[in-house]
Amino acid sequence: MKKRDFKDSLYEGIAGITKAFSNANRLEIIDLLANGEKTVEQIALQTAISISNASQHLKALKTSRLVKSRRDGQFIWYSLNGVKVMSAWQALRDLAMEHAPDVQNTLQQFRVSLGNAQSVSFQREYDNTSVFFLDVRPVDEFAAGHLPNAQSIPVDELPSRMAELPRDKTIITYCRGPFCSLADEAVQLLIANGFKAMRLEEGFLDLTLLSRS
Amino acid sequence: MKKRDFKDSLYEGIAGITKAFSNANRLEIIDLLANGEKTVEQIALQTAISISNASQHLKALKTSRLVKSRRDGQFIWYSLNGVKVMSAWQALRDLAMEHAPDVQNTLQQFRVSLGNAQSVSFQREYDNTSVFFLDVRPVDEFAAGHLPNAQSIPVDELPSRMAELPRDKTIITYCRGPFCSLADEAVQLLIANGFKAMRLEEGFLDLTLLSRS
DNA sequence: CAAGCATTTTAGAAAATACTTGAATATCTT
DNA sequence: AAGATATTCAAGTATTTTCTAAAATGCTTG
């Protein structure tokens, strides 16, 4: 085997993995799974595709070893297969957010449509004692991992549970990441009810990777 | 515009960038450009594709803003467009090296075919005074950036320039990265001539990113 | 073991896309 | 204008992707 053949084969192999990343639905699935394991049905529901389609995308991801699965009763739980998958997704996402004008524009419009919540970075606030971290993702995602000093109130329970929140602190909400709107929705709700609130720039994925480095 | 449409559009946008990465030839070009700017002809030559083909791949990369170009006389020099591109490539490469069995196997065979040089990490050796760092890439890549304490002798000049190397130290060679064979070839040559030599695990790309973090 | 639920597989068809080559064209320099 | 470098065009082939709908599988529970 010649040098050239080795190289071709190596780059070809990487391109194979990379192809698993180059589909919008699969990227959304990866982004979702970065927040904890999910069943096929949950994934299909949250990404608005059919169950059959979700299953097939998951198969593709599994073949490339980006996700793994385990069975529990009649459910099959899918999750990301290791930190390197998260890092790669984060790198691609950040690259796109910096380099792709259409992604930047859409994101900008998205945020405006959600009320343009003020955002702040974790690095700057994590030892600030006059803020209160609020995780507004579904409870199971909170259970799968969260900021150590955060409280959980899923955004759909927020209207009925505002009494649990301090009025003398700034509420800092966070959710899955830059493409997740839960934190923005929460901020809008909170501000409408007289709280001082903003959202974290980072999502759970970023916070996880931060804490590992 | 509905929430769903925003999301679809965002993930679609990222998938677009990702597609620029999902071709073996383009990955090899990126890996090459991580070591400094190159002309179309140089790229075509080193990746063993036609000039026309290289030009078209470069166009694709440029459209996705992964590379940029500048003109100097009759040459057009291409280079990577920012550190995030390098990080993304590194993340994908490392992911593949960890998760893809065929990539692992090929790499293993590749190294055996090159004499299985002993490798060592930069972190462990960088303040060791009894080693000598040798950059065996072409001179122009050395000029574009290198380890501060490294000496440059391109591997093809090595046979005639061994007198420049110390016999009382361990020579540690490095080149472009895990898919580059120059460092291994150099180690083989050096050992055959009675030197103590090994190669660095990391390549120039990794050393660059290391020094930035 | 039968029923029920969750998931996977299959098949198929439409659409889209990607890749490469070789020739022609463009852009600069000298 | 000649010469060098790079890009575009045209073309064909091949490949690939993606999704839906229906059937099949695998597991649990009564």
| CATH code at position B40 | 1.10.10.10
* Region of residue B145 (phi > 0: left; psi between -120 and 50: alpha; otherwise: beta): left
Best of B4, B5, B9, B18 to substitute, by most chain A Cβ atoms within 10 angstroms, is B18
Looking at the fold, whether B207 and B122 belong to one and the same domain comes out as yes
Which of A118-122, A124-128, B24-28, B181-185 is the least confident region?
Answer: A124-128
Looking at the fold, whether A125 and A201 belong to one and the same domain comes out as yes
Q: Which chain B residues contact residue A102 at CB under 8 A?
A: 9, 13, 16
How many separate domains does chain A show? Answer: 2
Q: In which domain, by residue range, is A48 found?
A: 3-85
In a domain, B159, yes or no: yes
In a domain, A90, yes or no: no
Give the mean model confidence (pLDDT) for residues B36-58.
Answer: 96
Protein residue ranges contacting nucleic strand C, Cβ under 7 Å: A 39-41, 51-52, 55-56, 58-59, 69, 74-76; B 19, 22-23, 25, 49-50, 52-53, 56-57, 60, 71, 73-74
Maximum C-alpha span of chain A:
70
Looking at the fold, whether B163 and B207 belong to one and the same domain comes out as yes
Average pLDDT, chain B: 95
CA pseudo-torsion sign B121, B122, B127, B132: positive
Distance CA(A100)–CA(A104), nearest Å, equals 6
Q: Which chain A residues contact residue B22 at CB under 8 A?
A: 15, 18-19, 21-22
- Nearest nucleotide from residue A42 CA, by C1' atom: C6
Looking at the fold, whether A117 and A207 belong to one and the same domain comes out as yes
pLDDT over 90 percentage in chain B: 93
Of A48, A30, A40, A144, the residue nearest A88 (C-alpha): A30
In a domain, A98, yes or no: no
Give the mean model confidence (pLDDT) for residues B31-60.
Answer: 96
CB A167 within 8 A of CB A89: no
pLDDT at B125: 85
pLDDT at B129: 87
Q: Which two tokens stand for residue B101?
A: 């069995």
Last residue of a domain, one of A27, A53, A85: A85
Looking at the fold, whether A68 and A40 belong to one and the same domain comes out as yes
In a domain, A94, yes or no: no
Is residue B29 pLDDT above 80, yes or no?
A: yes
- CATH value at residue A206: 3.40.250.10
In a domain, B107, yes or no: no
Last residue of a domain, one of B66, B82, B98: B82
Task: Collapse the DSSP code of B194 into the 3-class scheme (helix H, G, I; strand E, B; otherwise coil) and give the result.
Answer: coil
CB B9 within 8 A of CB A96: no
Looking at the fold, whether A77 and A8 belong to one and the same domain comes out as yes
Is residue B24 pLDDT above 80, yes or no?
A: yes
Distance CA(A92)–CA(B8), nearest Å, equals 16
Contact call for A113 and B1, based on CB within 8 A: yes
**pLDDT tens by residue, B85-118:** 999 999 999 999 999 999 999 999 999 999 999 9
Contact call for B100 and A181, based on CB within 8 A: no
Q: Which chain A residues contact residue B1 at CB under 8 A?
A: 109, 113
Per-residue pLDDT of chain A (213 residues; tens, 9 = 90+): 789 999 999 999 999 999 999 999 999 999 999 999 999 999 999 999 999 999 999 999 999 999 999 999 999 999 999 999 999 999 999 999 999 999 999 999 999 999 999 999 998 888 888 999 999 999 999 999 999 999 999 999 999 999 999 999 999 999 999 999 999 999 999 999 999 999 999 999 999 999 877
User: Which positions on chain D have an atom < 7 Å from some protein CB?
Assistant: 3-9, 16-23, 26-29
Return the DSSP state at A162. Answer: G
pLDDT at B2: 86
Question: Number of helices and strands (H, E) in chain B?
Answer: 10, 8
Is residue B4 pLDDT above 80, yes or no?
A: yes
A93, HSE (Cβ side, Cα atoms, 13 Å): 22
The amino acid that residue A26 corresponds to is: R
Looking at the fold, whether A130 and A80 belong to one and the same domain comes out as no
CB B171 within 8 A of CB B196: yes
CB A205 within 8 A of CB A86: yes
pLDDT at A1: 75
| CB pairs A-B closer than 8 Å | 171
Pairing of strands B170-174, B131-135: parallel
Looking at the fold, whether A73 and A115 belong to one and the same domain comes out as no
CB A173 within 8 A of CB A134: yes
- With distances taken from each CA to the C1' atom of nucleotide C27, the closest residue turns out to be B74
Distance CA(B117)–CA(A15), nearest Å, equals 27
In a domain, A167, yes or no: yes
In a domain, A49, yes or no: yes
Distance CA(B109)–CA(B106), nearest Å, equals 5
